[in-house]
Each structure stands twice: as C-alpha cells, then as structure tokens.
Amino acid sequence: MFYEVLAKYYDLVFPAEEAKITFLDTEFRARRVKRVLDLACGTGTYTIALARLGYEAWGTDLEAGMVEQAGKKALATGAKANFGVGDMREPASLGITFDGLFCIGNSLAHLTESEDLDRALRAMREVLRDGGLAVFQIVNFDGILERGDTDLPLIERENVRFLRTYRPRGEERLVFDSVLEVKEEGGKVHRYENSVILRPIRKGKLESLLLEVGFSRLQTYGDFKYTPWNPQSQAVVVLAEC
C-alpha cells in the first residue's frame, strides 16, 4: 500500500537532479558506454534522462507500479527507454551484456542478507563487459552508525511532506521509518507510514566487496559533484571499473 501511494508522488518528492545526470553521463561517456542498465530504477527518471542523451537505456525495479509509471513517462517524453519488472540480484535475466550500469538511491541497503548483497554485486559484474563501469550510491552509513538515530532532511513540496528516520540496531540492521503526508484540496491530510529493515553498509565494506566480486579500480566520492568522501558526507558514491 505504502509504495503504491508513494509511486504516485515519487517524481514530486524526488525530482531529477542535474548533478546526478551530469555525473553519470560524464563517466559513461569517458568509457564509451553505449548500453546502460539502471537497477532499482524506481520511476525511471535517470533511465529516461540517459536515453534522451543517446544511450540505449534499460531499467528494472521490483515494484510493478514504479515500472508502469516509468513506461508511461518514457512514452510521454518520447524517450526510447526499456523497462521491466526485475530483481537487482538477477540482472542476467534480461539476457543482455551492458557497457555500464548504475544502482543508486540507497537500493543496495535493501539487501539485508550478506549472501544477497554478494550475489547481487557478482551478478552485476557478470553482465558488464570487460572495461565497463558500474556506479553505486548508498547513504553514508558510517556516519549514521556513529550518530545513532538520524532524521534525514525533511522533503516538503506542494501538498506533500516526506519524513525519514534511520534507527540503527547494531552493525547489521537498521530500521528505516518513512512518513508520507498528502494534503487534499479541502485541507484534509492523509498520513501513510512505513518501516522497513535495511542493512547498513559501511564504505569500506562496500569497496572490499566490489573488489572481491571482480571489479578493479575504484573511485569513491561523498556526492555526485566529485566531493571527496569524509565521515560527514551525506552519501557514498563509488565508481567501479571492470
């Protein structure tokens, strides 16, 4: 129910960020990437953005409602993007080899079992050609694990508010609480709440796992503006070359 409602407001809550588009395009173009895969693509914002820049872009997500919305957006914009319901642990199900892929928006943290995270990263490496590039982005869990319960910045749009809190439960588990508030024309506010268990992945752990599954040269930043990572960074952004 929660994600079905969120899908309706997803693009309002999370509009396209030019810094992300520029980062992805710059790094993929530098490596002559032509075919790219967006894993856990949500409503396809960045899949569509890359398609419009000339890439053969594919996007998959487990939430059928998100994928349906992504397809509608692609049709409305004329973008030649390809979408399907799919598990980030099984990118090979498409039967395609890619030059580049990206998994952003903290999606990896939803793989709560270490075996699933390892499986997903190995599968991602296997669908990339040699010389390909993967881009990953997660929340800076190092900082959250040090601070304890952490409220993320409030997202407030016209008639919509989105509140998020991370509550660590040791090194291996974290509770992610979300509250979506939607105000109707008459002023009535509907409140939708959701809690999900995530796996907090430290920066060093993600880097070591990527090397273990076959990625080679890594570059890590604190955001999509190439700011060097530090313990206070909001995010962990990793470029992983094959």
Residues 82 and 167 in one domain: no
Burial pattern 187-210, b for ≥16 Cβ within 10 A else e, equals eeeeebeeeeebbbbbbebbbebb
Give the tens place of pLDDT for each residue, 37-83: 999 999 999 999 999 999 999 999 999 989 999 999 999 999 999 99
CATH of residue 29: 3.40.50.150
Residues 46 and 125 in one domain: yes
Residues 45 and 68 in one domain: yes
Give the tens place of pLDDT for each residue, 125-175: 999 999 999 999 999 999 999 999 999 999 999 899 999 999 999 999 999
Residues 182 and 65 in one domain: no
Residues 98 and 120 in one domain: yes
Residues 75 and 184 in one domain: no
Question: Taking a C-beta distance cutoff of 8 angstroms, is the pair 107, 39 a contact?
Answer: yes
Domain that holds residue 188: 143-198
Residues 62 and 181 in one domain: no
CB-side exposure of 165: number of CA atoms within 13 Å?
9
Q: Mean of the per-residue pLDDT values for the chain? A: 96
CATH of residue 174: 2.20.25.110
Give the tens place of pLDDT for each residue, 91-121: 999 999 999 999 999 999 999 999 999 999 9
Give the tens place of pLDDT for each residue, 198-218: 999 999 999 999 999 999 999
pLDDT at 186 over 80: yes
Residues 132 and 90 in one domain: yes
Question: Taking a C-beta distance cutoff of 8 angstroms, is the pair 134, 125 a contact?
Answer: yes
Question: What is the C-alpha separation between 52 and 31, in angstroms, rounded?
Answer: 18
Domain count, the chain: 2
Residue 47, helix vs strand vs coil:
helix
- Tokens describing residue 140: 């800076």
Record the pTM: 0.96
Question: Taking a C-beta distance cutoff of 8 angstroms, is the pair 21, 48 a contact?
Answer: no
Residues 12 and 110 in one domain: yes
Question: Considering just the CA atoms, what is the radius of gyration of the chain in Å?
Answer: 18
DSSP-assigned states of every residue in 75-143: HHHT--EEEEE--TT-GGGG---EEEEEE-TTGGGG--SHHHHHHHHHHHHHTEEEEEEEEEEEE-HHH
Residue 204, helix vs strand vs coil:
helix
Residues 128 and 228 in one domain: yes
Residues 33 and 102 in one domain: yes
- Nearest residue to 140 (alpha-carbon basis) of 203, 51, 194: 203
How confident is the model at residue 45, as a pLDDT?
97
Burial pattern 143-166, b for ≥16 Cβ within 10 A else e, equals bbbeeeebeeeeeeeeeebbbbeb
Residues 59 and 160 in one domain: no
Contacts of 182 (CB under 8 A, 6+ apart): 5, 9, 159, 160, 189, 190, 192
Banded pLDDT at 236 (limits 50, 70, 90): very high
